Amino acid sequence: MSFSAEFPFSKIFLYIDSSIETLKQQNLKSFLEEKIEVGVHIKKDFLREKNEDGLEKEIAKTKVRNKRKREFKEPLPKEIEIEKKIIKENKELLGIIYDGHRLVKLFRNLLDQKEKKNHTIIITKRLVGTLEKNEARYHIRTVINSIPSIISVSGIVEGPAKPRKYYFADENEKEGVLDFEPMQHSDERMESAVKSYLLQTIFWRLEGYPFCDREWCCLKNSHWQKDVIKNQVNGELCEEHEEILNKFKKSTC
């Protein structure tokens, strides 16, 4: 029996933080349109576009206060002012971690009906973390697959771990510990990595599961920096997942 299915969306709304200099918007648009053949609408600065009274306070409420507990409190006036500057002036984020579940819920409430019905992806510099039931502490995430999906370029740098010996080395010895170049905030490889995470959000919408266990597949769930370089930067879709996309595309012809 032949496989037949339709894309669960007809458009992609892609919000890209304008302060992320390592990403070329047109490249990401062309990549997605080639891969899945649906219209991609590029937008900038999700929170600046969706800004409304009290938003900076709601964002501040999602801040992680305790890396081992999901506990929140009313933000201080200074915290609210910082969030206002981050939104309006692209101020640096100073290592703040935001609770991914709360942030997604807040972002979802800001979407219009077309964005909810289709597939919305937000690429941000904000560090996003989640604390699941079986985990002892918050973990920084590269991507959160949800409505909307969130990709954190800071998370790509700071989330996946380096080898344990790296963290115990003296500062002047750290470079010699690694046999690869880890991702940096100004990394020219960031665009390649983001493309892989964009595909993860697509397969989450298509199949409910965004990952692949095959080596070199860009859907591999990489927990280590070295694997991000191997799979997300240098990897490609495996034949099976490429075929799944092709069958979806044929069904829309």
| pLDDT score recorded for residue 44 | 86
Based on the structure, what is the number of domains in the chain? 1
**Residue 113 half-sphere exposure toward CB, CA atoms < 13 A:** 0
* In the predicted structure, residue 3 carries a pLDDT above the cut 50: no
Q: Is residue 162 part of a domain?
A: yes
Integer CA distances (angstroms), 224 to 17, 164, 220, in order? 25, 10, 11
Assess if residue 25 is contained within a domain.
yes
Distance from the Cα of residue 193 to its chain's centroid: 10
Residue pLDDT, tens place only, 140-151:
999 999 999 999
Conformation bin of residue 145: beta by default, left when phi > 0, alpha when psi is -120 to 50: beta
Q: Is residue 190 part of a domain?
A: yes
Question: What pLDDT, on a 0 to 100 scale, did the predictor assign at position 47?
Answer: 93
Which domain range does residue 39 map to?
A: 11-251
Collapse the DSSP code of 42 into the 3-class scheme (helix H, G, I; strand E, B; otherwise coil) and give the result.
strand
Q: Cα separations (Å) of 216 from 35, 211, 213, 219?
A: 18, 12, 9, 8
For residue 1, tell me if it sits in a domain: no
**Assigned domain for 2 exists:** no
User: Domain containing 113 — which CATH number?
Assistant: 3.40.390.10
Q: Is 175's pLDDT higher than 90?
A: no
| 0.75 surpassed by pTM | yes
* 207 found inside a domain: yes
Whether 6 is covered by a domain: the verdict is: no
Is position 138 within any domain?
yes
Render pLDDT for 46-103 as a digit per residue (tens, 0 to 9).
999 998 889 999 999 999 999 999 999 999 999 999 999 888 877 767 789 999 999 9
